[in-house]
Amino acid sequence: MASAVINIFKIPELRKRILFTVFILIVYRIGAHIPIPGINVEALKSYFEQAAKSSAGGLLDFFDLFAGGALKRFTIFALGIMPYISASIIMQLLTVVIPSLEKLSKEGPEGYKKINQYTRYGTVFLCAIQSLGLTFWMKSMSSAKGAVVPKDSGIGFILVAVIAITTGTMVLMWLGEIITERGIGNGISLIIFAGIVVRVPAASMDTVNRIITRSDPIIGIILIGLFVLVVAASIMLTLGVRKIPVQYGKRVVGRRMVQMTSQSIPLRVNAAGVIPIIFASSVILFPAQISNMFGGSKYAIFTKMQYWLSPGHAAYMILYGALIIFFCYFYTAIQFNPVDISENLKKYGGFIPGIRPGKNTADYIMYILNRITLSGSIFLALIAITPDFIIRIWPEEVSPEMAYLFGGTSLLIIVGVALDTLKQIESQLLMRHYDGFIKKGRIRGRY
């Protein structure tokens, strides 16, 4: 492992790519500390300290985790890269529904270029809407002493805040694209990865201090063991694949009859990735946000809704897990079409041993896909609700930020991005006849 790290810096091109990626990520972290003009920092800090004591604190920590801490500071990167991710997901769904977009997606690089352009337009629109809502939320904030967060809540402040936040997200999107082009790894994924990982030291120290204060080292040992198990489960879920063997008949090449090699169709156990968790989180947190808008504690029904749908409660975990399983099937059905695979196999002379081509092949693939999606979705739901179990069992010992790092979207993103980046670095090393990170075997990335 140490020799592989040394070899990385022996290759000039790889060294430049890694240093460039690190430089861009540092620029991102600097921007995450530049506040929006006209913000009362002390009043903002007091407001979030007060919110952390209520049930809304868990929700704020959840959203702030993916913004790299920029949301609670109301910086120019307050929305992070999530509007671009949301626009990309919406465009993927529209590509299946709208025939013209589906036709564009099959036109190769030019079609994808046009779809990417529409995605950017959608990102600007989502940023404008979300930043406007965030600005009005800022206007309603005040500290415990009555100090308001925005120093001037007029139309000028609203315009400046919306433009600053929208521009910040577009800059992040551009930084992600140049990392992909000139750095190492997927730029958008690395920006999300950096925003999550940067919270680990502070969250870990907060949890350690809480455990030391309560003088209970057994809890610390249990948490370390649980963390190792969840990380191992996340790696298994990320890399898990079910291969369906495929054989091809003989083909005439020139004047010879050539037997085509046997291949396989890899079906990922978790084909939907972290998308079901993002969808489920948005759906389940929506009622809590509505209750805040319509009076919160003024009405009994809203009070009960906030209580039961806050992280850590039984109703929240059951509904959250059910939504994740539903969206796993929903997104997999949209992204994966067994009929197309069956037709392509038949077109090129391929077949699954023991299964007739055509409808029987499509039905067999769908049968296998439904089975592995069920196991994968249950596994994904268990990983996603792990933070809520931790919050429920040890509410005083573990900080909410640290709990969310134990599972769900954050841990799956960390594992997936780390595996993909290490795979790219190892490929560069092996291409230049250096040993990779593992001398026996190879690092497998996500399919």
DSSP 299-323: SHHHHHHHHHTSTTSHHHHHHHHHH
* CA–CA gap between residue 32 and residue 169 (Å, rounded): 11
Tokens of 37: 């003009």
One-letter amino acid at 379 equals F
Q: Could you give the angle at which helices 187-197 and 408-431 cross, rounded to 10 degrees?
A: 130
295 has a pLDDT exceeding 60:
no
254 has a pLDDT exceeding 70:
no
280 has a pLDDT exceeding 70:
yes
List Cβ neighbours of 292 (8 Å cut-off, separation of 6 or more): 56, 306
Tokens of 46: 């007091």
pLDDT of residue 321: 87
Radius of gyration for the alpha carbons in the chain, expressed in angstroms and rounded: 24
List of domains in the chain: 1-198 (1.10.3370.10), 216-406 (1.10.3370.10)
Higher pLDDT among residues 51 and 57, named by residue: 51
pLDDT of residue 215: 67
* CA–CA gap between residue 425 and residue 183 (Å, rounded): 11
Mean pLDDT over all residues of the chain?
A: 78
337 has a pLDDT exceeding 90:
no
pLDDT digits (tens, 9 = 90+) for 64-81: 766 777 777 788 888 888
Residue 239: closest CA among 436, 425, 416, 441: 416
pLDDT of residue 50: 67
258 by Cβ neighbours in 10 Å (0-12 / 13-18 / 19+) ranks as: exposed
Q: Comparing 217-221, 255-259, 381-385, 429-433, which segment has the lowest mean pLDDT?
A: 255-259
58 has a pLDDT exceeding 70:
no
* CA–CA gap between residue 209 and residue 219 (Å, rounded): 12
Question: CB–CB of 446/424 below 8 Å?
Answer: no
Mean pLDDT of 5-12: 75
Phi, psi of 150 (to 5 degrees): -80, 130
23 has a pLDDT exceeding 90:
yes
Strands 350-351, 250-253: pairing is unpaired
pLDDT of residue 294: 54
100 has a pLDDT exceeding 80:
yes
* CA–CA gap between residue 144 and residue 148 (Å, rounded): 10
Tokens of 57: 């604190």
pLDDT of residue 442: 57
pLDDT of residue 195: 83
Q: Look at the chain and count its residues.
A: 447
